[in-house]
Structure formats: C-alpha cells, structure tokens
Amino acid sequence: MTTIKEIKDQLSNKKISVQELYDDYYNKAKKSELNSFNQLLEPEYNKQNIINSQSRYDEEKDLPLDGIPLGIKDLFCTKGIATTASSKILEKFIPEYESRVTQNLLNDGSIFLGKNNCDEFAMGSSNETSFYGPVINPWKNKNQINDHLVPGGSSGGSASAVAEKICVASIGTDTGGSIRQPASLCGVVGLKPTFGSCSRWGVVAFASSLDQAGPITNTVEDAAYLLNSVSSYDPNDSTSSNHKRDNFLEGIGKNFDRPITIGIPSDYLKDVSSEIIEQIENTKKHLTNLNINFIDVEFTTTDFALSTYYIIAPAEASSNLARYDGIRYGYRGKGDSLEEIYVNSRSEGFGEEVIRRILIGTYVLSAGYYDAYYRKAQRVRRLIKDDFQRILKDVDFILTPTTPNEAFKIGEKLDPIAMYMNDIFTVPTSLAGLPAISLPSGLSKNNLPLGIQLIGNYFQEKNLLQMASLLEKEFGFNG
Amino acid sequence: MSDINIKKVSYLAKLALNDDKAALYEKSLSEIIEWVDNLKKIDTEGVKPLHNITEKNQNIRNDEVVKNNSTEEILSNAPEKAQNFFRVPKVVE
C-alpha cells in the first residue's frame, strides 16, 4: 500500500521523480479496462505542472499534495477540460472556469490524471446510468469469477480507480451516499464531509441542499490529506461555512485522551443479512481494547428517510436541470422553434434515470402536490435532523453498515426502487447534513469487500477521521 | 394507485415521451410515489420545513463587480452562435 505520505517521502528523498510517478500511474490508467475514466488527460497537458512540482521538491518547498496523481469525478468543472457529468447533454461542454474544490487541489500541487466516470448527473447507485457505459469493480465474486460487478455509485469511477490503484486518490461527490456506497463496494475509504465544508461552486448541481464533495482514498490518512485541501470557505457558495478548519491530519493514528461512546442503531440492523451484522459485531470486538463504550440507540425516523430523500433530491434536481435547454451550452436537438429545441435537446440529451428523477421532481413540485409531498418531506427532514441531534447528545459517533449488500452484478438490479434501497444507510446522514466515513471492514463469503460507516457531529471531521484511523489499524484490511 | 398524468408532468418538464416511454414512466412514477407515500404515517403537525441544513449561516457577499469571464468565453460552449449572441430560431414574427 502506498499512501500520500509515503509517496511524498519518496519524492522528497529523490527515490522517485514527479515525472516517474506520473508516468507510472498514467500508464496503469491507460491500460485499465474498467472504464473508470471518462477522459484521461494527455501527458502533454500535465507537462508544466510536473516540472513546477519537481522544482518545488528540489527546493524543499513542496506543497501538501505536490505531484500526487489524482482522479477527479467528471462532475467538477475543470477549466479547459471537458466536464460531462457522464451525460450526453454535456458531452462537448468545456468549462471556462475551475471549480473551487479542484482549484484548491491544484493550488496544493496535485496532478490531475483525468475525469472519473460516474452515474449520469450523479443519479445512481451502481454507475450504470453513465452515458459512457458502466464502470467495472476491480473486485470479483470468487464464486462467480467471470461476472463483472458494479463499483457502486454515483462516484463509481472514482472508487474503482482508487481500488485498482490507477490513481492515488479521487475526489467524488455525495448526495445520498455517492461517495460512501461505492467506497464500501470497492473496499476503499470514502468521506462525506459536513454539508457546507466544501464549496459546491463549479460542481454540476444535482440536489443543492445535499450535494457535498469529498475524498475517496486507500487510507484514512489520505482522506485527511485531501480534506485539508478541499474543505474551505467560498463566498461563491452561499451555503459554504466560514468556520475555521481543523488540520485533519492532527488526530490520525492517535488514541483519544477521553472515553469514547459509539452508538449502534438497532433499527438499522433489523432487516440486514447476518454477514452485514457480523461487520458491526466485528468492529465492536476490534475496539474493545481502546476504551470505547458501545451503546444501543434507536432512531424513530429511519423508515422515512428514503422517502424523504426521493422527494427532496428529485425536486431539487428537476429545478437544477431546468438549465439544460440546448441554447447556451450542451447538446442542442433540432427544432424550428425555441420550444421544440428545449424539448428535443432535453429528451435526446438526458438518459433514462435522469428523466425519471426530473419527472418525479416535477410531479412533487407541481400545483396541488407541493404541500403533500415536497413541503411534507421538508418537515420530515427536520424530524430526521432532530433525531440525529438527540442521539448525538449521548454518543460521540454512530456506527452502521455502509450498505445492505456487497457489490452485485452489472445489469442485475433493474427495478429503480430496489436500486434506491442501496442507499438506505447513507441517505439519513445526508438529509441531516452530518459527516460520515465509510471504511472497509472485512470480506464477505464471496470474497467481496464490506464496509462500515461512522457518523460524527457537525464539522467534527477531525475526530471522525481520528476514530476511523484507529479502526482502520485494528481491521488491517488490505485491498 | 396514484393519479399521475404523465403527459402533463412531462409537458411541465419540457420532455417528450413517446407512448411506450410514457406508459413505462407512468408505471414507474406510480410505484415510486406509492412507495414514498409512507410519509403520510409520520406526524409533522407544527414542524417547520427544513430547506437547508445550514439555514443559520447563509452567507451574503457584497455585490461587487468582478470580471471573471468574457462574452467570447461564454459563447465558446454555445451550440449555435452569431456575432456576439446565442443563435435561436426567430421568436418574434
């Protein structure tokens, strides 16, 4: 396993050059057959960045992520580089500006290998809705070795690429679980920060009250490195928080100097398989030596979280995606009138799941249904948030499975509701805006990775990463 | 069964669905709406809608003019343009 810290040490000690490091990852990415990149940047594009990075190492003035080859989910606007959201409607879109998150990563010296495949407009839990085709999970079911498995979604390309180690880390986005669920299915670490931590400016919008960028990495420490870079106040995002950020690396690997209590919600575990429950039991066993106290907690709103999410997220999506009209940018369908251009551009440019979500959203926002669905869901959302606040008064962290199942076969889940159920454990945290991290906890009987999710309190990512790093050490999971 | 008029919903969303697609989405939407209808079981009497988790610290920035893009840059992604404008079919007769 090669961590950011180890790579940086090698670069500082001249064991490897920035160019050699880049070539190594570029060549691996070029050879990959898992479709995890929509676009791999030509080496020519990174030439100057690599030279600049190398001279900073030579002068011992290296930046926090200097020379580190990253994947970027194709949902972040990157100046001069096609940004498609894995949709036909944005196939030829080349942003004239850089998203805040990717600008931060560039400012910290990282090198972009390319744009990671994802579900179209980040709508999906298996990366099968991408216009560029499904991404393949590097893991195989040992009992069905020839099957291609989904990497999860929507940041499936990011998770697959990090697990295949063709990029050191990737930046994804999470609306209802799109970082944590693929991380779990691919056996890597995925952190969704508190809503408001990372700027949404320049991120193709899906559901603006939920969308949040975050790292997908091989280790918890790497996640802290990336979070240090991407978490920042941005006046261009009205929901960006302007509190002072912690140094998220500070707690990594250190024991807590106070007793820690972790709550395990019994209501999350009532319908899950024994294999998933085992992950939780296993986690408890691993932590007994560390002065950690476990208590059972029970939410009253869990049964309503998915319904709330599948009203609010499509409603916001239908509004956000109204901008794709074929006039100013993106795909334009043929038409003799404005109306025809609008309708043809959208009907031909959007894929099946995106159209489904726009229709759901349009329905729940339409006259006569707004109060019954949208307004109602927003009220329930407050109850969900309050429910978390009640439980977080008594515990430091909440421990749950990340997903109800291991990675499944591409093409296996055709029913939308069955697909939505993948996010049953990640969606409640998203609605509450809380930070949560998924880390690999073990392997299933089929030899596929399973993950657990730790949830912390608002803006407590430093503690959350610290806790996760201790757990990671105990698990000793080696992808 | 819900009362989804898929033609009306798709009209509002500026999407054209052929009859097969319309039937497919009508069925799919009905199932999803029925599935989310369990929200009727939770009492929200007197609960204020939550629009945004960060409702307490919405930031307002000063309305200052900054030049961060040009007409040329903005038009570079236009599917059709003419001179300094987006090009569309004639709107006014």
For residue A414, pLDDT over 90 is answered with no
Is A148 inside any structural domain? Answer: yes
How large is the average pLDDT for residues B3-17? Answer: 95
pLDDT of residue A22: 98
Return d(Cα A19, Cα A67) in angstroms, integer.
8
Residue A280 corresponds to which amino acid?
A: I
Residues making up chain B, counted from first to last: 93
A311 reaches B (C-beta below 8 A):
yes
- ipTM for the predicted complex comes to 0.95
Backbone phi, psi, residue A199, to 5°: -65, 140
Is B78 inside any structural domain? Answer: no
Is B90 inside any structural domain? Answer: no
pLDDT of residue A291: 84
CB atoms within 10 A of CB A389: 13
Q: What is the DSSP letter of A371?
A: I
- DSSP H/E element including A386: helix A376-392
Strand partners, A439: A452
Is B27 inside any structural domain? Answer: yes
Is B14 inside any structural domain? Answer: yes
Q: What is the mean pLDDT of chain A?
A: 96
pLDDT of residue B62: 84
Q: Tell whether pTM > 0.95.
A: yes
Q: Kindly state the tokens that stand for A232.
A: 């920042």
Return d(Cα A434, Cα A389) in angstroms, integer.
10
Structural domain that includes position A86: 4-255+406-475
Q: Which of A96, A209, A363 sits opposite B73 (nearest CB)?
A: A96
Is B67 inside any structural domain? Answer: no
Q: Which A residues, 189 through 228, put their C-beta within 8 Å of a C-beta on chain B? A: 195-196, 209
The tally of domains found in chain B comes to 1
Return d(Cα A352, Cα A369) in angstroms, integer.
23
Provide the pLDDT confidence category of residue A477 given band limits of 50, 70 and 90.
confident
pLDDT of residue A479: 67
For residue A98, pLDDT over 80 is answered with yes
- DSSP H/E element including A399: strand A397-401
Chain B residues touching residue A339 (CB < 8 angstroms): 14
Nearest to A189 by CA among A244, A248, A238: A248
For residue B1, pLDDT over 60 is answered with no
Query: Cβ(A380)–Cβ(B44) under 8 Å?
Result: yes
Q: Which of A96, A322, A383 sits opposite B69 (nearest CB)?
A: A96
Contact A363 B47 (CB under 8 A): no
Q: Locate tokens 């898992």: which residue?
A: A34
Contact B39 A377 (CB under 8 A): yes
Is B1 inside any structural domain? Answer: no
Residues B16-48: tens digit of each pLDDT: 999 999 999 999 999 999 999 999 999 999 999
- DSSP H/E element including A39: strand A37-40
Residues A382-394: tens digit of each pLDDT: 999 999 999 999 9
Return d(Cα A67, Cα A53) in angstroms, integer.
6
Return d(Cα A149, Cα A146) in angstroms, integer.
9
DSSP A69-117: EEEEETTB-BTTB---TT-GGGTT---SS--HHHHHHHHTT-EEEEEE-
Contact B36 A343 (CB under 8 A): no
Structural domain that includes position B32: 6-41
Is A272 inside any structural domain? Answer: no
Q: CA–CA distance from A44 to each of A22, A143, A189 (Å)?
A: 12, 43, 31
pLDDT of residue A1: 59
The tally of domains found in chain A comes to 1
How large is the average pLDDT for residues A388-412? Answer: 97
Is B24 inside any structural domain? Answer: yes
Considering chain A, what percentage of its residues have pLDDT values greater than 90?
Answer: 94
